[in-house]
Amino acid sequence: MSTYYLNYLEELESEAIFILREVWAQFQNPVILFSGGKDSILVTHLAKKAFHPAKIPFALMHVDTGHNFPEAIQFRDDIVEKLGVNLIVGSVQKSIDDGRVAEEKGKNATRNALQITTLLDTIEEHKIDCAIGGGRRDEEKARAKERFFSHRDEFGQWDPKNQRPELWNLLNGKYFEGEHFRAFPISNWTEMDVWNYLTKENIEIPSLYLAHEREVVKRNGSWIPNSEYLVLEPNEEIVKKKIRFRTLGDITITGGIESDADTMEKIVEEVSTMRETERGNRSDDKRSETAMEDRKKDGYF
């Protein structure tokens, strides 16, 4: 009987499905945080498997910075329609218009941190008690500290110094009124695992992940895509390059890389030789040593 083993991708898949089902069983009103990026697509795909033949029992929730890759929005709308799930959109633009937050000023202004308020407001408004994220521990050093079930207090805050112990597969999702949880079913997946799995399962992803000719500008060492929100600095110029994106965030700050990888197989090949982490091109993480931890403490994804 000693031949009954799973390969590691199957083991990770099984773990993620277990967590998704546990969320469904323990919470009243959970949602999947859906950005249109590969990790949230993966989580959604795993949810489909977890509840088959029933429909995915979660709504998808998108925190819309207003600075989107158009392809990512199209992709979001298509998947919502195909799966027949509800879509909840929290709009950063609306938070700004309502005076909940103020736009950052200056050259490196982004709407990244503004998302926190919109996210927490939307969670409160829809009485969401668990938001399922595609965060992975290998992404970033503060994320490396996350539990599968991660408690947020009534202010939406994470307290990394005082997390609940999480033993074996016994997940404690208990909370007081007004508090909520974040759940991270793909905590143990690496970027490589994600690509291998997406390829193996033939999962559709936005074309932004594949190399194409794109208009870009070099800024802080990475290739920022041209968009209606881009304000050129005097010494900057728009050029055409064969570019793909390793992560999809706010279009104004997500840098692409030069690449020839225009198929899934080539991406897997390329990722395996990569010398920089995927978030290395995101200026939101470069702001300070503890940028991610600080944002997460405030309630960020």
Sites of contact with another protein (CB under 8 A): 1-8, 10-11, 13-15, 17-18, 21-22, 24-25, 48-55, 137-138, 140-142, 144-145, 147, 160-161, 163-170, 172, 174-176, 187-188, 190, 192, 274-277, 280, 289-290, 293
Q: Are residues 36 and 206 in contact, defined by beta-carbon separation less than 8 angstroms?
A: yes
Give the residue with the Cβ less far from another protein, 47 or 63.
47
The smaller minimum CB distance to another protein, of residues 162 and 235, is found at 162
Angstrom distance (rounded) from CA 41 to CA 157: 26
Nearest approach, Cβ of 275 to another protein (angstroms)? 5
Residue 181: CB minimum distance to another protein, A = 11
Nearest to 257 by CA among 273, 244, 274, 276: 244
d(CA 251, CA 243): 14
Please give the helix or strand (H or E) that residue 11 lies within, else none. helix 8-26
The nearer residue to another protein, 235 or 288, going by C-beta atoms, is 288
Minimal distance, residue 273 CB to another protein, in Å: 12
As measured in angstroms, the least distance from the Cβ of 59 to another protein is 16
CA-to-CA distance for 295 and 293, rounded, in angstroms?
Answer: 5
Of the two residues 90 and 256, which places its CB atom closer to another protein in the complex? 256
- The enclosing H or E element of 209 equals none
Residue 5 or residue 106: which is nearer to another protein going by CB?
5
Cross-strand pairs, 158: none
231, with CB counted inside 10 A (0-12, 13-18, 19+), is exposed
Minimum distance, C-beta of residue 131 to another protein, in the bound complex (Å)? 18
